[in-house]
Structure 1
Amino acid sequence: MCLIAFAYKTPALGPLVLLANRDEYYARPSAPLDWWAPEHPDTLGGRDLQAGGSWLALDKRGRFAAITNIREGLARRGERTRGELVARFVTGEDSALAFAAWLKAEHGRYAPFNLLFGQLDDLYHFHSRGARLTRLTPGIHTLSNATLDTPWPKAQRLAEALRGLPRPPSEAEAFRWLADDHMPPVEQLPNSGVGLAMEKRLAPIFINDRDYGTRSSMLLTVAGRGDVHFSELTWSMAGREAGRRHYSLRPLQSPRRPL
């Protein structure tokens, strides 16, 4: 996952509205949004078929996780794949705080990452550089390849689409915003250590490069009654639409804190 913007516990948009783009090499095999049967039939998300794991997933208990990498010059390979963190939390039993304690002990085995995770009504952000844990507050937030709410142009542009909405967006609206290939002015681009040419390639919300680009766009909404709607639009090379999927579910209510 490379770009997330979300409205969390806001009066107009409800418990959660999340927009996300996953950027990846076209040659890397992956499975689209689906149930993870037979091993985890109550877990829903896309799957990385090369190294395992996922970039964004949730389950019927209301457990949720999404991951982005941290961009800081020459990419460092980890001992383990970051995508397994999403799968480990969503299919696991640990509370968010217990999982955060595990992350603080084990994050060095993974290349640098941001992890957004928790129950759909109680989310946390873990930044592996410094092992910092933040409990999310109501409002509109962004997460790209720096840390939570870093004002990169594409993140701000996507967040702006959510501001002022009187209701959750439709799929058509969300996928239009996520397909935005607007190039910010060069002077607004971050300096993440990859050089200006690469910064420009990665600057738009929607990336369409020769061998690398946006592979999937996602809209996740949680209504006040707890109903969850999760849609994905997948992309192939040259920005061609490859498929659409939509799932609706109501997570099982916790005896301690209903959704």
Structure 2
Amino acid sequence: MCSIILIKNSNNLIIATNRDELLDRPSESHKVRKEGNLKNFSPQDSFKGGTWLGLNEKGLFVGITNRFTPSPNKSLTSRGVLTKKALEAHSPSEALEKLSTFKAEEFNPFHLLITNRSETQILWSNGEKITQFKMLDQYFILTESSFGAGENKRLSFLKSHIEKFSADDDCEPFKKILSMKSDPSFEGPLVHMPERNYGTRSSFVIKLTPEVESSEFYYSDVPPDQNKWVDFKGIILKEKFNT
């Protein structure tokens, strides 16, 4: 996944993500799964078994992006393992403890976002060192070029469109942002590069509020401009997730 938008205030948290990946890489759709003792709602990478995002029953969201690197090492452990491990936690702080045994050298570079309505933590790695970053701002955008990994034109594009939004908005404007294209394609949130067998494969947008009944939950297993969003709030209520 290559774009994660986070906006929060004292009550609400909105997450909007696009996953960019090889067009023929197999994956399983979003469903209720279990990591450790906690249920989560997440997709799964069929190739290596990890996941790029998930929301667990304690209201903890975890999402990962690759960090741009010219020559990734395909023999290293899947970065999706980090996401699954973090989903075992009740809070971002607990997730950091669970992840503390992992070494940067085990994985290709990454940016890992761990958040709930009250706390946001980011772990990022350049392949040699893992750095912890506690987010205190009301909004943050992660891409594969964050933290100095490269020229971040997608960040500039997204900033220019979300600066007027707040965590009191509903999910609809965020769905529209994820559907926006740019030229060159890689500089916008919706990536379409069939000549490279690469593009936006799926999307995920949630709004967490103090009451789960007033929260919003959507995913799409196809590019967001196809407008085939699935409302999974019924699943969240049935499984008694908290927010």
| Alignment TM-score, normalising by the size of structure 2 | 0.81
The count of aligned residue pairs is: 231
Tell whether the 8 Å contact from 1:100 to 1:133 is kept in structure 2 after alignment: no
* Residue of structure 2 equivalent to 1:230: 217
**For 1:52 and 1:9, how far apart are their aligned partners in 2?**
34
1:16 matched to which residue of 2? 13
Q: 1:47 aligned to 44, 48, 53, which one?
A: 44
Alpha-carbon contact 1:6-1:159 (below 8 Å) kept: no
Q: Is the aligned partner of 1:204 residue 2:203?
A: no
81 and 138 in structure 1: CA distance in 2 versus 1, 3 angstrom threshold: same
- Residues 35, 85 of structure 2: 8 Å contact kept: no
For 2:143, the equivalent position in structure 1 comes to 144
State the partner residue of 1:134: 133
Conserved? CA contact 2:20–2:191, under 8 Å? yes
* CA offset digits 1:44-89 (Å, max 9, x no partner): 0111111111111011122321100111222232521111111111
Identical pairs, percent: 18
Amino acid at match of 1:241: Q
Aligned-pair CA distance for 1:118: 4.3
For residues 12-41 of structure 1, what are the alpha-carbon distances to aligned partners after superposition, in whole Å with 9 as ceiling and x for unaligned? xx4211111100111111122221279988
- Amino acid corresponding to residue 215 of structure 1 in structure 2: R
Aligned in 2, Cα 1:43/1:149: closer, same or farther, shift over 3 Å? Answer: farther
Query: 208-217 or 165-174: which moved more?
Result: 165-174
CA distance in 2, matches of 1:100, 1:60: 19
Which residue pairs with 1:191 in the alignment?
none
CA change 1:52–1:81 in 2 (3 A) is same
State the one-letter code of the partner of 1:203: E
- Residue 209 of structure 1, CA deviation: 1.4
Structure 2 counterparts to residues 109-258 of structure 1, below 5 A = 109-129=106-126, 130-147=129-146, 152-165=152-165, 168-183=168-183, 200-210=184-194, 211-225=197-211, 228-235=215-222, 241=226, 243-248=228-233, 249=236
Unaligned runs of 5+ in 1: 184-199, 254-258
Displacement of 1:246: 1.8
Deviations along 1:112-144, whole A, 9 cap, x unmatched? 111111444212100112311011113111100
**One-letter code of the match for 2:160?**
E
Do the aligned residues in 1 keep the contact of 2:15 with 2:207 (CA within 8 Å)? yes
SS at match of 2:232: strand
- The answer on whether the counterparts of 1:234 and 1:241 sit within 8 Å (CA) in structure 2 is no
The separation in 2 between residues aligned to 1:89 and 1:107, in whole angstroms, is 16
Task: Indicate the larger mover: 127-136 or 163-172.
Answer: 163-172
Cα deviation, 1:163-194, whole Å, max 9, x if unaligned, reads 223664444422221111122xxxxxxxxxxx
CA deviations 1:207-256 (Å, max 9, x no partner) are: 111121100122121113355422112226xx873843222237766xxx
RMSD of Structure 2 on Structure 1 (CA):
3.0
CA contact (8 A) 1:33 1:44 kept: yes
CA contact (8 A) 2:9 2:167 kept: no
